[in-house]
């Protein structure tokens, strides 16, 4: 059994870029145990002055677009620029078994052996948007450990990409060509959130199709209203297998970083994300507190059966549980 580390040991190890302690710290913040949560909070507070200096990149895309293959090639390109990169690869959690594959290190084997790279697979749990519940905290720990580029790989284009957009500086959307009706196969919302679009697998016989798809996306993006940061998302093509187009994507990210820092949007975006993080935490805490309430545990199954048997409206069932929960908390406050 591993010796339990103190707050000071965690902080010192992270700042010394000890990857074993970094991994243990991430496991700590992902823990659902009350004692671990308190310890994790102190660790995060301790490393906070050493965070915020990395470029945070979110990468999403349609199924089959080759996100892991792209990230491995792109990650190797970044490390060749003498930059340290952390990849937070999110594995989808089964809603039936609550298990996840956690196979990203296998899919990115070459990058996993790069001394300038760190890959951390985490389960998405019940979190929307294909991100892990503690992705924000994990990013801070990786920044404190000296990683200059943080990549968050999502499980794919899903129901809440705004979650990803709301925690990164640059949002890259990967798309396929030749899949038919390219512009019909993607929601307008995610196109508007993208800071750049990259058409993948632009190699061999698919090269011309990729260029055709690129022109379609360029024309489509011109129809969208200008963004609040006055950035016009470019559309590029790339091949992870042939290692082409990667430097162009990197230059786009660097130019974006410079432009956003000069116009003040970079800092404003980070500030707004921190506020959103606070409100997300409040919602998560209140939901956890509600379902941990013994009254809720004692009555929820009965109310579920009544709803399933159409003997009770779902709204009435919800209010019955909420009212008791609220009354209990009000009573507790009065007693204090």
| pTM given for the model | 0.86
Question: Do the Cβ atoms of 150 and 38 come closer than 8 Å?
Answer: no
Last residue of a domain, one of 14, 34, 50: 50
Number of domains in the chain: 3
Question: Do the Cβ atoms of 146 and 17 come closer than 8 Å?
Answer: yes
Which of 5, 17, 275 is CA-nearest to residue 143?
A: 17
Which of 89, 108, 114, 106 is CA-nearest to residue 19?
A: 114
Q: What is the structure's pLDDT at 280?
A: 87
Last residue of a domain, one of 31, 50, 69: 50
Domain that holds residue 95: 51-263
pLDDT tens-digit map of 136-181: 999 999 999 999 999 998 865 555 567 788 899 999 999 988 654 4
Does the pLDDT at position 307 exceed 60?
yes
Question: Do both 232 and 172 map to the same domain?
Answer: yes
Q: What is the structure's pLDDT at 165?
A: 86
Can you tell me the mean pLDDT for 193-197?
Answer: 92
Question: Do both 161 and 72 map to the same domain?
Answer: yes
Question: Do the Cβ atoms of 147 and 86 come closer than 8 Å?
Answer: yes
Q: What is the structure's pLDDT at 101?
A: 43
**CATH number of the CATH domain containing 201:** 3.40.50.300
**How many other C-beta atoms are found inside a 10 Å radius of the C-beta of residue 56?**
23
Q: H-type helices in the chain, by residue range?
A: 7-15, 19-30, 34-47, 67-80, 104-107, 109-112, 135-144, 162-165, 188-193, 207-222, 246-262, 265-292, 294-308, 314-335
Can you tell me the mean pLDDT for 191-197?
Answer: 89
Can you tell me the mean pLDDT for 4-24?
Answer: 96
Residue 177 lies inside a defined structural domain of this protein: yes
């Amino acid at each position: 059994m591993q010796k339990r580390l103190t707050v000071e040991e965690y902080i010192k190890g992270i700042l010394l870029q000890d990857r074993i302690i970094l991994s243990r710290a991430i496991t700590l913040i992902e823990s659902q145990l009350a004692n671990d949560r308190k310890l994790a909070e102190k660790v995060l507070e301790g490393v906070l002055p050493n965070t915020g200096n990395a470029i945070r990149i979110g990468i999403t895309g349609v199924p089959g677009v080759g996100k892991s293959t792209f990230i491995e090639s792109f990650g190797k390109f970044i490390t060749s620029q003498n930059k340290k990169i952390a990849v937070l690869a999110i594995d989808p959690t089964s809603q039936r078994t609550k298990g996840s594959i956690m196979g990203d290190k296998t899919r990115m084997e070459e990058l996993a052996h790069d001394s300038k790279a760190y890959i951390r697979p985490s389960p998405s749990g019940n979190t929307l948007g294909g991100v892990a519940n503690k992705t924000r905290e994990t990013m801070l720990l990786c920044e404190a450990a000296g990683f200059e580029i943080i990549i968050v790989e999502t499980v794919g284009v899903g129901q809440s990409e705004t979650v990803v957009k709301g925690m990164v500086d640059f949002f890259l959307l990967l798309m396929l060509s030749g899949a038919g009706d390219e512009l019909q196969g993607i929601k307008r919302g995610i196109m508007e959130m993208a800071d750049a679009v990259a058409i993948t697998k632009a190699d061999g016989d698919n090269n011309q199709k990729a260029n055709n798809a690129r022109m379609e996306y360029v024309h489509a993006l011109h129809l969208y209203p200008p963004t609040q940061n006055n950035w016009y998302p470019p559309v590029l093509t790339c091949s992870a297998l042939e290692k082409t187009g990667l430097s162009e994507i990197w230059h786009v990210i660097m130019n974006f970083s410079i432009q956003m820092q000069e116009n003040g949007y970079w800092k404003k975006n980070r500030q707004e994300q921190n506020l959103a993080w606070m409100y997300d935490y409040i919602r998560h805490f209140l939901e956890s507190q509600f379902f941990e309430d013994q009254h809720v545990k004692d009555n929820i199954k009965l109310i579920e059966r009544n709803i399933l048997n159409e003997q009770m409206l779902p709204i009435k069932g919800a209010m019955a549980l909420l009212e008791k929960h609220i009354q209990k908390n009000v009573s507790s406050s009065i007693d204090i």
